[in-house]
Amino acid sequence: MRRPPQHAVPEAQTSAVDALFAALAPLAARLPAFPGSVLLSVAANLAFGTAAAEALAPLFGKTVRIRVTDAGLNFHFKVSSSGFVACRAAPPAVMISAGARDFLRLARREVDADTLFFDRRLSIEGDTELGLLLKNTLDALDVKSVLGAPPGPLRLLSALRASLQA
């Protein structure tokens, strides 16, 4: 018998979140992807800095697409030696898709990507070798030690600058 994760969300709260996503998904799908891609890249640069860049060298210059299936959102980024860089929509080398709740659970380390993949809640399309490299590299990083205190203005500006580099 499977035990629920320690941070299980009460069922009433879960259905409210589902209703909110259902109501907002049509609107979210109409939003331009680039501003969201910048925000995702900034967050990744704040969380991981350049720690992941060296290990992700095979991804340099290749577009990665993150697709949030239930919210109708798409985020595009590339990896460079200075970190994650937002980019406009382009054919991705690899696309990782899941629902918003599943991405949130991944970010909180409440579930691992392999479990979601085998439960068919997360998919990797395109160059799966690059997708697995990205997944394994991010899994290996200790996010808690990186995310300690909120970022100061200089760190935030640096992450934004890295996310917007051409």
How do residues 11-44 score in pLDDT, each as one tens digit? 555 566 667 666 666 666 666 667 888 888 888 8
Query: Range of 138's domain?
Result: 33-164
CATH classification at residue 55? 3.30.1050.10
**HEC-encoded secondary structure of the chain:** CCCCCCCCCCHHHHHHHHHHHHHHHHHHHHCCHHHHHHHHHHHHHHHHCCCCCCCCHHHECCCEEEEECCCCEEEEEEEECCEEEECCCCCCCEEEEECHHHHHHHHCCCCCHHHHHHCCCEEEEECHHHHHHHHHHHHHCCHHHHCCCCCCHHHHHHHHHHHHCC
Q: pLDDT at position 30, please?
A: 64
> Would you say residue 14 lies in a domain?
no
> Would you say residue 53 lies in a domain?
yes
Domains: count for the chain: 1
> Would you say residue 28 lies in a domain?
no
Q: pLDDT at position 144, please?
A: 58
> Would you say residue 65 lies in a domain?
yes
Q: pLDDT at position 2, please?
A: 44
> Would you say residue 104 lies in a domain?
yes
Q: Whole-model pTM?
A: 0.73
> Would you say residue 8 lies in a domain?
no
> Would you say residue 3 lies in a domain?
no
Q: pLDDT at position 13, please?
A: 53
> Would you say residue 6 lies in a domain?
no
pLDDT in tens, 101-154: 898 888 778 898 899 999 999 999 999 999 999 888 877 776 655 555 566 667
